[in-house]
Chains A and B, each alone.
Chain A
Amino acid sequence: GENVEQHPSTLSVQEGDSAVIKCTYSDSASNYFPWYKQELGKRPQLIIDIRSNVGEKKDQRIAVTLNKTAKHFSLHITETQPEDSAVYFCAASIEGGGNKLTFGTGTQLKVEL
């Protein structure tokens, strides 16, 4: 089955700096890669996603890049703000194959003032 690795497990940045979280996946059939933000005790919230037919996607301060050859994808947050502090999960799935997500191990992001 799919295996998704994520790093770093914790990331501390100063407000206004950029944050980068990286993930690798193992199943070359995976074609959908969402990123979720989760606050303690809450459901994961989709913040951005990318499909395998594109290499990069941006939404305001958030961007995701995908390297299918290397099976890497990354989340980039620019101009970080304290409210960006949360746990972030990457995930991978085969869209059309039931949407079963395999999650990465999570990154605790802390944005310090």
Chain B
Amino acid sequence: GAVVSQHPSWVICKSGTSVKIECRSLDFQATTMFWYRQFPKQSLMLMATSNEGSKATYEQGVEKDKFLINHASLTLSTLTVTSAHPEDSSFYICSAPDATRTNEKLFFGSGTQLSVL
């Protein structure tokens, strides 16, 4: 299937710092990227949808000023967790659809485990 590369795979940071997570589509153009957050033993909750060249759409309850999303090109979307706090510690994962595929059409990054001290 298509490949979505996500970095870093894990990050530990101090409270108050900002963390940037990158997702790249390696072999297709990702005009859309979905960003999910998953707390331990819970489901994947959609945070926002980024679209290349336009503003991201945030789900209800997600602070857009805290979770900055940029989708500047057809292969790169970034999520920046600003002024991170311990409650932001979670598994963040992106996914992008590749409409050219006939079967599996949605491809996930490998996830980023964020730990805020």
* Complex interface: chain A residues within 8 A of B93 (CB): 43-44
> Do residues B43 and A99 form an inter-chain contact, with CB atoms below 8 A?
no
Q: Interface majority SS on A: helix, strand, loop or mixed? A: loop
Give CA–CA (A33, B27) in the complex, Å.
25
Give CA–CA (A15, B106) in the complex, Å.
31
- B34 within 8 Å of A (CB atoms): yes
> Do residues B109 and A100 form an inter-chain contact, with CB atoms below 8 A?
no
Q: Which of A63-71, A74-82, A102-110 contacts B (4 or more CB under 8 A)?
A: A102-110
Closest partner residue, chain B, to A41 (CB atom) = B113
> Do residues B105 and A89 form an inter-chain contact, with CB atoms below 8 A?
no
* Complex interface: chain A residues within 8 A of B104 (CB): 46, 49
Task: Using A41-B111, A43-B111, A44-B108 as known contacts, say yes or no to A104 and B43 having CB atoms under 8 A apart.
Answer: yes
How many positions in chain A have a CB within 8 Å of any CB in the partner chain?
19
* Complex interface: chain A residues within 8 A of B109 (CB): 43
* Complex interface: chain B residues within 8 A of A43 (CB): 93, 108-111
Q: What mask results when residues 29 to 46 of chain B are scored 1 for a CB within 8 Å of chain A, else 0?
A: 000101000000111111
Give CA–CA (A55, B113) in the complex, Å.
37
Q: Interface majority SS on B: helix, strand, loop or mixed? A: strand
> Do residues B97 and A102 form an inter-chain contact, with CB atoms below 8 A?
no
- A101 within 8 Å of B (CB atoms): yes
Considering only residues 66-117 of chain B, those with a C-beta below 8 Å from chain A are 91, 93, 95, 97, 104-106, 108-111, 113
* Complex interface: chain A residues within 8 A of B110 (CB): 42-43
By CB atoms of chain A within 10 A, which of B46, B49, B109 has the most? B46
> Do residues A89 and B44 form an inter-chain contact, with CB atoms below 8 A?
yes
Residues of A within 8 A of B (CB): 34, 41-44, 46, 49, 89, 95, 98-106, 108
Given contacts A34-B106, A101-B46, A103-B43, 15 further A-B contacts (CB under 8 A): A41-B111, A41-B113, A42-B111, A43-B111, A44-B93, A46-B104, A89-B43, A98-B32, A99-B105, A100-B46, A101-B95, A102-B46, A105-B42, A106-B42, A108-B41
